[in-house]
Structures are given as structure tokens and as C-alpha cells.
Amino acid sequence: MIKLAQSKFVTIKDIAEKAGVSVNTVSRALNNKPDINPKTKEKIEKIAEELGYVKNSYATMLKSQISNTIGVIVPDSSNPFFSEVFKGIDKAAKEKDYQIIMMNSEGIYENEEKFIRTLLERRVDGILLFPMQKSYEDIKDLIKERFPIILVGREYDGWDVDQIFSDEIKGGYIATKYLIQKGCKKIKMITDELYNSASFGRIQGFKKALTERGLKVQDEDIKICDKIHEGYHIQAGYDETIKMLKQKDKFDGIFCYNDLIAYGAIKALKEHKIKIPNDVRIVGYDDITFSKLIEPELTTVRVNKTEMGYEAFNMIYKRIKAKRMDNSFVKKILDVELIVRESA
């Protein structure tokens, strides 16, 4: 017997016919509405079961205009930072029985734009976006005011929407201050692209801590890996460190934009038999799972990633349920803390 790959699904009409009632009665039975004879209901449920009925949610959504779905656009789902934030989103969504359509933009603007369009076409109830770009003009235009959207993980000025991110300036500040306290005289920073607000904030904190102690900050002390593709942070950290070593830069401390970059830096230093933390102290950022497993264990700035995701979902949920846009937008800033381990 040849079977269709996707055999026809049973509809409420099929059920109605078999039960000798109208489709409307079936609909009410299956949706636990009042005004239905318990016996009819039971009978209908039995037939639905027998026939293997599975509702067609497109029809429901088309009618009700509610999808109980949000879209989440992340740059790289295999990056532990994002996957841990995602976990928080997922947890909150499960609690509210919401579905998630997750998309990997690879940090590419064209992808983000395309995905947002797709999500709009799917009439998701809201979107969580990890902004990665310099500018969001086209996307702002696409979304207009008609849609709940939350920016997660990075601040983006010039777009009046809710945002949630961590206190980057503080993070950069406490990391650098700690390095100074430990006696570092010449601290380098390896960071991500400049227009990235997270990078920007961390640099500010870095500078603040240094100038506060009367230490000079020179542009060349801030190494920007502008060719970073998502997923290659480790390599970039490695490359930048090797470069500094080759140039015979003097330094006794490195503050890394994130833990992955720090892993790369550590690898490079180890290869050159430079002792951590004795010769060079390293501080990372994010505190991803693996940072307590590498050697030396990484001193880093902890961001509460799961909380960020969890809160982000609840922010969008609130917007969705509110139904009305008020014109006040919230910027939620999460606290960070320094986790002292072995590397600094």
C-alpha cells in the first residue's frame, strides 16, 4: 500500500458528520465551552480521539488573531551566553504556555530583517531581539508602533522600545578596578566591535577605573577585534593576544570583552609560557559555565543570564497583555558582580 507522506488530517467537519451534529457543537465540545450537553461532549471527544483529530492551529489563529507565540532572534544559539539567556526565556515561556520561534541571525543585519519580516508574517505576539547592529532604521520602520518588541542584552539608543541589559559600565569598572588592586600597572582590553553598546559600556568602565587611579589610557591599549564573526570569539582572543606578544607590547593584565575571548587569550599566553596570574592577570565577562573548568579558572564578571531571559519574556508578555502602548518605555538594567577565581 502506498501512503501519502502527509495524509489528510481530520477536521471538525469530519467529526461533526460522524457524530451527527454541527461543526459548531464540535468546536464547543472540544474547547470546553459552556452550553453543551455533557453527553454530547463525551461522544464528540470519543470520536475525535478515534479519528485521531489534531486541531489546525492556523485556522484558529486566523480567526482569533492570537498566536501565543513569540519570536526570538539570537546572533548565535551555540554561543553559551545566548543559549543561557535563551534558557531563561524558554523557562518563562513554558510557564505562560507560549511557544517560541527561534532564529539564528549570525549577527547579520539582512538576516535580522528577513527574520523579523517572517515573524511578522507569522503574526507572533511579540519579538525578542538581541540587537547586534549599528543601526536599526529599516527594522524600526518595519515594526512601526504596531508591535511589541524588546531589545535584549544590549542597549540601543534611538529606538523607543523596552530594553533589558546588564550594567556594562559597572562591569567594566569592577573588572578593571580589581586588576589594579591586584597590582597591575599596564592593563590591556580586548573587545568586540565599537558600535556595540555592550562593548562601549565596558570600555567606559575600563577607562573610568584607570583614570580614577591616575593611570593613563591610550587608544592602543584597547584592542578591537573588528573582524569577529560570531562563534569565533575564542580565535579572536587568541589572535589579538599573539599580536600583542609579537609587537612586544608590555602588559600585566587583560580585561576581555567576554569569557570566550579570555579563553583565547589564556591559550595564547600558555603557549608562550607566560604564567597566569603571576605574569599576566586575566578577567573575562559573562561567567559562562565553562569558565570554572578551564585552567586557570577564570575570574570574570557575572551577568545573570537566565534572569535576563526570564525577565525579557515577562516584559514582552506584559506588553502583549497590556494591549495598549503607553509611551513610557522601560530600560531594565541588571546588576553584575565580580566572580574571583584563579586567573586574576
Rg (CA), the chain: 26
**Neighbouring residues of 207: CB distance < 8 A, sequence distance ≥ 6:** 217
For DNA, which is the closer residue by CB, 38 or 214?
38
135 binds, among a copy of itself, DNA, none (CB under 5 to 8 A by kind): none
267 binds, among DNA, a copy of itself, none (CB under 5 to 8 A by kind): a copy of itself
Quick count: other Cβ atoms within 10 Å of Cβ 134?
12
324 binds, among a copy of itself, DNA, none (CB under 5 to 8 A by kind): a copy of itself
Give dist(CA 87, CA 100) in Å, integer. Answer: 11
- Of residues 53 through 112, those in contact with DNA by CB under 7 A are 53, 55-56, 59-60, 62-65
For a copy of itself, which is the closer residue by CB, 100 or 274?
100
Answer yes or no whether residue 204 interacts with DNA by CB under 7 A: no
Give dist(CA 344, CA 277) in Å, integer. Answer: 5
The grid coordinates of residue 48 equal 475525535
- The site map against DNA for 23-42 (x = CB under 7 A) is xxx-xx-xx--xxxxxxxx-
293 binds, among a copy of itself, DNA, none (CB under 5 to 8 A by kind): a copy of itself
For DNA, which is the closer residue by CB, 3 or 63?
63
Answer yes or no whether residue 117 interacts with DNA by CB under 7 A: no
Give dist(CA 257, CA 301) in Å, integer. Answer: 10
For a copy of itself, which is the closer residue by CB, 67 or 197?
67
For a copy of itself, which is the closer residue by CB, 9 or 195?
9
**Candidate segments 19-27, 210-218, 307-315, 322-330, binder of DNA by CB under 7 A:** 19-27
Q: Could you tell me the smallest distance in angstroms from the CB atom of residue 324 to DNA?
A: 19
Classify residue 106 as exposed, middle or buried by CB count within 10 Å of its CB (0-12, 13-18, 19+): middle
Residues binding a copy of itself (CB under 8 A): 2-7, 9, 52, 54-59, 61-62, 77-78, 80, 83-84, 86-87, 90, 99-104, 117-118, 120-123, 125, 142, 144-148, 234, 263, 267, 289-290, 293-295, 319-320, 322-326
The grid coordinates of residue 219 equal 587608544
Cβ-contact 316, 70 below 8 angstroms: yes
For DNA, which is the closer residue by CB, 33 or 213?
33
150 binds, among DNA, a copy of itself, none (CB under 5 to 8 A by kind): none
Q: Could you tell me the smallest distance in angstroms from the CB atom of residue 20 to a copy of itself?
A: 25
Name the one residue in this structure whose C-alpha cell is 530583517: 113
Q: Could you tell me the smallest distance in angstroms from the CB atom of residue 146 to DNA?
A: 13
Following DSSP, what letter does each residue of 59-125 receive, concatenated? HHHHHH----EEEEEES-TTSHHHHHHHHHHHHHHHHTT-EEEEEE-TT-HHHHHHHHHHHHHTT-S
For a copy of itself, which is the closer residue by CB, 33 or 94?
94
The grid coordinates of residue 99 equal 511557544
Give dist(CA 93, CA 7) in Å, integer. Answer: 31
Name the one residue in this structure whose C-alpha cell is 568586540: 192
Answer yes or no whether residue 182 interacts with DNA by CB under 7 A: no
